[in-house]
């Protein structure tokens, strides 16, 4: 009887943990109020000929590996249709090599994507980005076409509304402005050392 009670309690703990993990995975991050028109004072270059995609990322967010992998898929499927940039936020008070992570190297390895450091999160704040992996697409005229996330949940790859919507816009199959939920770590976590948020681990698909 005692063994059965212990087994039941242990199973209950496992189930409760699983529920917490699943709940966390599907809890979206804050997206702020993305500017409808491209900020004129931004140092992020706007392509005058093709849509410009901007992704803001926390260099130590493991969830963002999935976003980078999805971006790689998008770049392969929509080759030549967009200009893409990933901006890694370097929060004030962090060490000099804060952005020198596997995640930075993964983003740099995606063909057609340029990678930049956002000192103090100046650009992220300008675009009202608050969650790692938050993505926005602006037309050559500076009009917002898409903002949100391109994964189905935290750290999970695969078909997602965000990625599908982006492809539809870039291929001229949709003209409506789209907003999706974004899953990732807060861009402005109160970090003062290299290990805050955990060193991002994972593999990028080539």
**What pLDDT does residue 188 have?**
86
Burial call 173-194: b when 16+ CB within 10 Å, e when fewer = ebeeebebbbbbbbbbeebeee
The domains located in the chain, with CATH, are 30-179 (3.40.30.10)
Of 61-70, 98-107, 179-188, which gets the smallest average pLDDT? 179-188
pLDDT tens per residue, range 7-63: 444 343 333 323 323 333 446 566 678 999 999 999 999 999 999 999 999 999 998
Confidence of residue 3 (pLDDT cuts 50, 70, 90): low
144-148/134-138 β-pairing: antiparallel
**What pLDDT does residue 181 have?**
86
What lies within 8 Å, CB to CB, of 48 at 6+ separation is: 140
Percent of the chain exceeding pLDDT 70 equals 71
pLDDT tens per residue, range 171-205: 988 766 688 889 889 998 644 334 344 433 333 33
């Amino acid at each position: 009887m005692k063994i059965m009670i212990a087994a039941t309690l242990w199973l209950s703990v496992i189930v409760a943990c699983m529920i917490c993990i699943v709940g966390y995975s599907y809890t979206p991050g804050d997206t702020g109020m993305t500017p409808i028109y491209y900020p004129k004072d931004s140092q992020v270059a706007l392509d005058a000929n093709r849509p410009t995609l901007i992704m803001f990322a926390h260099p130590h967010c493991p969830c963002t590996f999935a976003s980078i992998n999805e971006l790689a898929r998008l770049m392969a499927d929509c080759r030549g249709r967009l200009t893409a940039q990933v901006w890694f936020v370097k929060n004030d008070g962090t060490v000099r090599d804060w952005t020198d992570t596997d995640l930075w190297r993964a983003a740099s390895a995606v063909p057609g994507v340029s990678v930049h450091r956002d000192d103090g999160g100046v650009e992220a704040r300008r675009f009202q980005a608050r969650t790692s992996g938050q993505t926005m697409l602006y037309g050559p005229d500076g009009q917002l076409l898409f903002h949100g996330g391109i994964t189905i949940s935290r750290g999970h790859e695969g078909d997602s509304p965000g990625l599908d919507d982006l492809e539809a816009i870039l291929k001229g199959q949709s003209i409506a402005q789209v907003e999706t939920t974004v899953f990732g770590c807060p861009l402005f976590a109160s970090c003062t050392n290299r290990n805050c948020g955990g060193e991002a681990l994972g593999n990028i698909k080539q």
